[in-house]
Amino acid sequence: MFIEPAMRFERRGWIEIICGSMFSGKTEELIRRLRRARIANLRVAVFKPDADVRYHEENIVSHDETSLLSVPVPDAGSILELAKSMDVVGIDEGQFFDEELPNVCDTLALQGTRIIVAGLDMDYLGRPFGTMPELLAKAEYITKLHAICMQCGNIANYSFRKGGSKEQIELGNKDLYEPRCRLCYEKGDLLK
């Protein structure tokens, strides 16, 4: 008996996560993937938390100063309405979004949208950061990037805070943070 294969093609969505420490190239990789989607004539939307104005009020900007226009939003729920007809949605600094981000990503993926979220998987204390652990659990694809330890030159997986407050979220750059390997991170301020 011959069964004719289904000839129906439907758009399938999924979630991709790009994670790692600060200075590991997460935003740079996010921008690369989004630009390739645009080259393929896909409808692309890019979002970032409106509180992150370190480099630019609207653009997502990598540490090597590569940038891409984005829409700053106050919360994850705002993304759902703005991304309705998009083929690909990029989200930078995923760790700064509220607890709705995993649900928003699920909803969009079920609607056939490719979601790419870049964010820190750990905070400066080496603890899971924000909703990133839940997103990592839900993702079909995960890319973990590494920086170079500023103390010894090995691969770095930790974001070491050199000063500042004890709050989990404190926006900063190389003046406040440096990437470190596991051993140099554990030695902490003893390396100074």
Among all residues, which ones are annotated catalytic?
Answer: 93
Dist CA 20 CA 131 (whole Å):
14
166 residue type, one letter: K
Which residues, in sequence order, are bridge partners of residue 74?
A: none
Strand extents, DSSP E, 32-130? 44-49, 60-61, 67-68, 71-73, 88-91, 114-120
Beta-carbon contacts of residue 189 (< 8 Å; ≥ 6 apart): none
